[in-house]
């Protein structure tokens, strides 16, 4: 099985990188990509462990772009984490994440739902990506809501009373950053983002692939984006978007989504060719 979309405690997952590698092996995965939000710390921590476990570990990341005030996530694969341009860009991303947490915390306090943000901001100082999932968890812990789903619905979704827009790069810039780091760029979960109007401009900017398979894509959605990828000459990626436990409002199982070997072989070949050109 091949899962190209997973998260660890380096961002908003509940499993440490080493524990994720062990869980992937136990689930029968052969190929794994750790795609933490705006950080490469997760996969960098376990390159040796994955090798020892017999797993092919694809260097990956999920980068948050902004289009018309809404998030659009771009997955980067086969990237060089030492790329100076990528590192500088990710530092800016992390700075904005801290700003959002601070502003959302202030809004929640004004709404009569103060949370203790100091602890999560301390983890940001150590390199962890922080954001709305951690705030949702804090709201549950404080007893203001029963579930993280409720936290998003009442406070944190776009347009909600505690929602703070992200400031950041357009998805086209994210694609360029991924390419400069030697990687391939895939638009994450397009069936969730629902911004098909932005796909053709992204292709013009160099987008390499669409995430056709995803835990939130049903069979009809998957086929629609597979057909679109073929029409636009794009490669195909896929993954479970595993976070481990009830950390976000989605709780897919590790290995639940696996892309076909032929899709991955074509994608890996393209990634190898790009590495040779950069």
Domain ranges of the chain: 2-89+167-277, 90-156
pLDDT of residue 248: 42
pLDDT of residue 247: 41
Give the dihedral of Cα atoms 105, 110, 114, 117; nearest 10 deg.
20
Q: What does the pLDDT average to over 24-30?
A: 92
pLDDT over threshold 60, residue 230: yes
pLDDT of residue 117: 83
| pLDDT band, residue 165 (cuts 50/70/90) | confident
Query: Helical H runs in the chain?
Result: 17-26, 41-44, 47-52, 84-110, 118-125, 132-141, 148-151, 171-180, 190-193, 199-204, 219-232, 261-277
pLDDT over threshold 80, residue 125: no
pLDDT of residue 128: 76
Topology annotation, domain 2-89+167-277: TIM Barrel (3.20.20)
pLDDT over threshold 80, residue 218: yes
| pLDDT band, residue 29 (cuts 50/70/90) | very high
CATH numeric code, 90-156 = 1.10.150
Burial of 25 (0-12, 13-18, 19+ CB in 10 A): middle
Structure-token pair, residue 97: 């994440």
Which has more confidence, 12 or 190?
190
Q: For 42-61, write each residue's pLDDT tens digit.
A: 999 999 999 999 999 999 99
Q: What does the pLDDT average to over 206-219?
A: 96
- Percentage of residues in the chain having pLDDT higher than 90: 72
What does the alpha-carbon distance between residue 102 and residue 98 come to, in Å, rounded to a whole number? Answer: 6
DSSP conformation letters of 36-91 = -BT--HHHHTTHHHHHHTT-EEEEEEEEEEEETTEEEEEEEES--TT-HHHHHHHH
């Amino acid at each position: 099985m091949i899962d190209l979309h997973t998260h660890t405690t380096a961002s908003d997952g509940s499993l440490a990188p080493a524990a994720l590698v062990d869980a992937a092996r136990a689930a029968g995965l052969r190929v794994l990509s750790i795609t933490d939000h705006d950080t490469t710390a997760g996969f960098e921590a376990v390159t040796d462990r994955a090798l020892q476990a017999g797993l092919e570990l694809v260097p990956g990341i999920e980068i948050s772009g902004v289009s018309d005030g809404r998030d659009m996530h771009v997955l980067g694969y086969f990237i060089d984490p030492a790329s100076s341009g990528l590192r500088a860009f990710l530092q800016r991303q992390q700075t904005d994440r801290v700003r959002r947490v601070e502003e959302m915390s202030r809004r929640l306090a004004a709404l009569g739902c103060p949370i203790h943000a100091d602890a999560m901001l301390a983890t940001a100082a150590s390199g962890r990506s922080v954001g709305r999932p951690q705030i949702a968890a804090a709201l549950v812990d404080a007893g203001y809501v029963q579930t993280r789903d409720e936290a998003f619905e009442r406070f944190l979704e776009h347009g909600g009373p505690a929602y703070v827009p992200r400031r950041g790069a357009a998805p086209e810039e994210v694609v360029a950053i991924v390419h400069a780091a030697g990687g391939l760029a895939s638009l994450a979960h397009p069936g969730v983002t629902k911004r098909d109007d932005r796909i053709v401009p992204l292709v013009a900017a160099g987008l390499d692939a669409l995430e056709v398979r995803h835990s939130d894509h049903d069979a009809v959605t998957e086929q629609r984006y597979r057909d679109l990828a073929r029409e636009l000459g794009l490669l195909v990626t896929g993954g479970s978007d595993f976070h481990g436990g009830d950390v976000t409002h989605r709780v897919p199982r590790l290995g639940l989504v696996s892309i076909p070997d032929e899709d991955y072989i074509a994608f890996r070949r393209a990634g190898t060719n790009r590495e040779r050109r950069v």
